[in-house]
Every structure is written in C-alpha cells, then in structure tokens.
Structure 1
Amino acid sequence: MLIVVLIKGVPARTTQVLTVSGVLKREEMELVLNPHDARALEAAFYLKRVVGGKIICLSMGPEPKISPIMKELFEPKEESRLVPRIIFPGVDHCILLSDRRMAGADTWATSYTLAKGIEKILQIHREAVERLEKAIGSDELYEIAKTLYHNGLIPHEIYSELPTIRDSLLARYRSGQIDEAGLRDGLRRYKDGLGRFIILAGMKTTDGETGNTGPQTAEALGQMMGEIIPSVAFVREMEIDPSGEYVVVLRALGRIIQKLLVPLPCLLTLHTEYEPKIPSPVHLKKARYANYIPQKSRIDVWNAEFIGADPSKLGLMGSPTIVGPGYEVGRPQAQKVIGESLVFARDVERFEWGGKTYGPFKAGDLAPELPVELLREMRAKGWVRVFTLEDMLNELFGGLKVVSRTV
C-alpha cells in the first residue's frame, strides 16, 4: 500500500512574516515541521505495521527550508529543533514539490499542486509494473526487477533479496512454481492494488486556518482520476482492515460521535488527540511482504513540468482567494526583568560606533547584546538604564506611576 503523508513547514516562532501582498516570506524564516502533522506520521506507521507498504512524505515549499525537515524524518531524533518528538522509525521516501511558480498559493492552488504530485506518484509506480510486464520472457526481466526493487518501486512480494523472503512472485516464477500466466496475473493484481492508497494529513497548520486543504486535495485528485475519493476530517481513532480494502474511523463533531467505514483510496485528516492503535503481531509477517526498500539517501525534488501541472493553476496566479494588503505583525514582546534588564530611556537614531552601525532604537526597547564599552557610554549619556517597576506599569497600563508613602 502507498501511504502518502502531507506535511508542511511552518514558522518556528512569531516574527515579521508578511509582505505587502500578504504572502509568507518562507525563504527568509526558520521553518519547522507543522506540529499537527506528527499525528499523521504516527498514523502512517500504524498502517505500515498492519498492511505493509511505503510511507511517502510529500510537501511543497522552498527546497533549502523544507529539505532539512525531511532529512530528519528519515531517522527521527529524540531531541530535534525541526521535528517534534514522534513515535515512529522514519519515512521511506520524501518528495518535495518546489517551483517558484508554486509560491503564494492559497489552499485551492495548494490542493491542486499536491493532487498533481500524488497523481505522479501513482503513475511512476504503475509504470514500474508495466516495465516488468513488458520484460516477461526476456533476459532482462530480473535485472529490471532488481533495479526497480532498489529504487523502492516494487515491494518484496514481487522481488526480494531478503534472506527471510524466498517466495516472492519472481522467485516462484524462476523456480517453476508458477508459469508466465501466473506471473502476469500476480503483477496485474498488484497493479490493481496500487489504487487502494491512503493519504494522511494533520488537522491544520499552525500558520493559518488550512484545515480544508486535505479535503480539497481529495476532491482535486478525484477529478484527475475520474473517481470519488472520500475524505474524513477530525479523525480521533482509526483501524484498518488487514485486507487493505477499508478503514474504520471514529471522529467527533461537537457532541456527535461518528463511526465510519471508509473504502480505499481515501484521505484522512488526523485530530490533535489521535493516538495510534497497537497492531496485532500476526499482521507483521504478512505486512513485511508488502514493504519496499526505504529510499533514505535522497529527497526527490519535482517541479511543475515534471508533475504535469498547469502553470495557470499554480501559486498566486492559480489562487482565487484575494489577499488584501499585508501588515507587519512585529516581534513578540521581549522578556524584561525588573532591576536587571537594560532598556533604552529615549529614542536613539542609527549611529556608528567602532566601525559598525547600530540602531535605530525606541524608548523602552530591550538593549541588545552590545559591546560593554558602548553600553557604558550609553548609560553615561542617559540613553540606557535599568528596567524598573514603574517602566513595567507604564507598559501595562499606560502612564500609571508608583507612589510611595509612609503610614
């Protein structure tokens, strides 16, 4: 089974993130994995342990910022600055959709782009099987199978070099246990099974109300494939049938609890309270046959031409949402300690000191880590002083003064 997990890089902290057009300047920010996507990754690992398959991580964004996040998803660390703690051994493959024309996309254009990426993933895996079908009866069959196997495009059930799996489809064909018709039938059934994939996503992202991106991706992909791909949001519990035909999900909509049987292919967005079930050990052996060789040495970067996307439907051009003028949201309030922190007592224009430029600063701003000699001079001039209780009350209440009296 192909398990596609949609992830996104979000700003690590509050900062000046808006341009005049209202588009996030992701290339200028430190990005981390969207915390809600961790639930989708845990759900993917549960599915792989029950039915096997390949966990494919799919994202869209600037390569220099998203690639470091993806690299850590191959082998998650106990402590990471980019990825929250996730209970899973890592993804099998990472694909990044990165193209300047994709920038500035709203949820509609983002959904279209992600759907084209998923469509390309399915196409590549189907073409791999078709290469094997065409090679049946030729001397190149096993060499082609070996190449596809090491590229993570066919699972162990088709071809395997694991010593514990000696009854793959091609191994049985080579030993004479099945004939050419049996081999073709096995490849056909596997290719049909590629259509029973699942897409997982977080409930939303922390940098905007993007909860509709998942369902819109399912709708866009369904239109491309000519079929209905059901989507279920706010999934709190999930259990997949070992046959890989359907999943049973539980979701809460206010006070309403729904238990749904959802056929594959489908798309699920995981609630923040989702916790994966513990699969039965009886499924592990069967699931191993459906696994692929992990592609942990590379991140595939696909542009608009490679996925066959219509440029008019990408990025800002393909976004029907009209974004008004942006506003600088500023920086978070710096922590100030009464009696310790140094703050500016007055507005200070930009100035030169020691061959470097400093400022401008506003009254009340926390004095940054300036050279000791410079701070000494500024304190002597009355530009900088220690933060007081009166300063704090002035910031909080706007002009209250501390009055002391003796009783």
Structure 2
Amino acid sequence: MTDRLPGFSTLAVHAGAQPDPTTGARATPIYQTTSFVFNDADHAASLFGLQAFGNIYTRIGNPTNAVLEERVAALEGGTAALAVASGHAAQVVVLQQLLKPGDEIVAARKLYGGSINQFTHAFKAFGWNVAWADPDEIESFERAVTPRTKAIFIESIANPAGSITDIEAIAAVARKAGVPLIVDNTLASPYLIKPIDHGADIVVHSLTKFLGGHGNSLGGIIVDAGTFDWSKDNKYPMLSEPRPEYHGIRIQETFGNFAFAIACRVLGLRDLGPALSPFNAFMILTGIETLPLRMQKHCDNAKAVAEFLSTHPAVSAVNYAGLPGDRYNALQRKYSPKGAGAVFTFSLKGGYDAGVNLVSNLQLFSHLANVGDTRSLVIHPASTTHSQLDDAAKVRSGAAPEVVRLSIGIEDKEDLIADLDQALRA
C-alpha cells in the first residue's frame, strides 16, 4: 500500500466501494430490500439506540446508498453524507435540523426557481422564514442577519444564470453571525468547486444533475463538513440537547465532527421519510465514475457555445463566467479554474417571444426542465421554471423574459453550434 492520497478521478471510481464479500461482485450490488436481519435482540437494541452502526430499514439506510454517501463525502472533502430522494428533500432535511417555527435563513436571491418557490411558499407552512440577499453585494447578507437567523444558503454556481458566488466572503459573514453556511453545489459538482475548502459547513446537491449525469435517476445528498460547533450557545437544540427518542443522547457530543449527518439521518430522514431508492443510488454511483471526464467535456463545449453566441446578431448578451469580459470571470478563475460549468443563460433581442420561438425551433437540444444531462438541454425560464415569480423577481433571479437557459451536454460542439445557429436564423 502507498501513503499517497487518491486523486479525484480515483475517488470517483473507488471511494466507498469494495468487492462484495459474499459473491465477489466488483460493481456495488443493488440491495433491493426493505429491511435487514438482526444478529440477536441485543444487536437490534444497540442499532435502535444509536450505540452501534448498521442496517435496520432502507428508509434510514441501505448498503448501496452507503457507498454513494461515502463517495460523495470523499469527493467533497466532508466527514459524512446522507443520500435522500431529491435535491429538494435534501434542503428540507437540512433545515429541519436547524430551524424552529419563527426562525429564518438568509438566502441568495440567485437560486434555482424551485428553491425560491420552496423557500418562499412551502417553508411558510413550517413557520420558517427567509430573508433575501444579493450575492453580488456581500454587505446585503450582513444586513439580513437577525437574532432569528440560523443559516445562510447560497449556490456555488447560480442557476439559471451560471454566475459564480464569492463563497469565502459569504462564509466570513456566516462565521461572524455564528451560523452555518449551506452551499448548493449542484451546478459545479466537486470536480469544479469544493465549497468546504472555501468555508462551507454543509453542502447539498441534486444528484439528479451532474453527479448522476444521465437524466435517469432522481436523488439528493447532504454533506457534513464537520466544521461547525453545534453545541455553542445552544442555538441548535436538535443537535445539542438530549434526544428523548434516543435515551437522552446529545447528537453533537456523541458523534462529534459528523454529528450533523447523523442528525439528518436519525431525526430527519427517519421521520420525514424521503428515502433514496437503492436502484437510483446504483445508477448515480455509475454516473459518478465518469464525472471528471464528463464535466471537463461539458465545460469545454459550453465555452465554445458561449463564444459563438456572444458574436451572434440575434443575441444581446451572454452570461457565461468563462468569457474574459464576463463580470464573474475573476471569481471563476479563483473558484473554478477548470471551467465555468455547463449551465448559462443568454438574452435575445426579440424578448419573450423570441425565447419561446427559439426553444421550439431547436432540433438537437431537448426542451425540458432539467440540467446536468449528457444531452444538451434548453428552457425558457420566464415561461417555465421561474414563471411563478413576478417580472421584478424574474430579473433579480437571472430569468428575465428575454433570457434562455442552456445546459450544454457532451455532444460534438460543432453540432450544438449548428443547431443553435439554424434556430436563431429561423
């Protein structure tokens, strides 16, 4: 054995996985079972009392899912992870550990439209409130913090505009406020950006997107950085106070630097129930094996397409951080030097109608509500993903009426450019 730390590509293939001890199967098996047999009564009691690690019921944990969790934690540089049914489910489970009714989070205005909707409307039913801040104005995060603030939430690369967030600057605001920084790293993946290296305490993903990468399986994941003291000032009682359902165990005290991941599993996933299917975990694991290859191709193609669009007479603006003149180019070179990602927007001179017409005329691009597929995708956010927002909110979130979002796949870039060209001319 060597003392060398494995590289990213090696971890993407091997982290968390071993040949099956019973059959010798090299690929991680799909443990398609609801529950697991206990050795004896004492073993069962120790599992239910959090005195031993092991499998009880697939809603709480599963061996296939465990490999996925260990692999993503390794790629992100975290201490532990928890896989759940979707990216939205990951956000619910995270915030359930942090917020009580009346508490709030500070969130960047530039978020995926579904997250804006979830934060603004669905979370009100839980008594959770949101204060919005501008990621281009770091002081707005400081101004938004109040004594009820329990977390700050941002995206590393914002959806839909593809803008790069200054993670370190906002992490400094979170530390000053004594709250964790949660970073949605879906659009970047850990291949491009590792938010924990820049001060994030919790990382979430929609596994559905670039990590899975093939548009065939829903999933979400929560990664615990192991960096936050959950017992300080008793601000987070779910982790610091005795848990009556576990004989008075204090989660932070018992589990240390992976306490948050444990809390999400045994307090959140156990009771809310958004379990990830082992089959989906298997599909996503298979996708992660080629993540480094795919992400670099995604980025290279996206830059070529953005350069083409930036000179097209029908296009008024291209928002792609990989272009030298883009306002986020310096942040891209700092945080994501391998590439600016594969999702970006551009604006059409013809406005709303031109955006609708463009998506109707594309032939190679698929018109659908997803990103991070091997296939190239297109959507007009103002009429779809961000349609629930008023016009001012659409503009603030990067989804103005004339804006079209692209998710660039791994096809030949010349074919993508030709398809865009014919559709723009049409």
**Bigger-Rg structure (1/2):** 1
> Which category of TM-score, normalised to the shorter sequence, fits these structures?
under 0.3
Higher strand proportion: 1
Higher helix proportion: 2
TM-score (norm 2): 0.24
TM-score (norm 1): 0.25
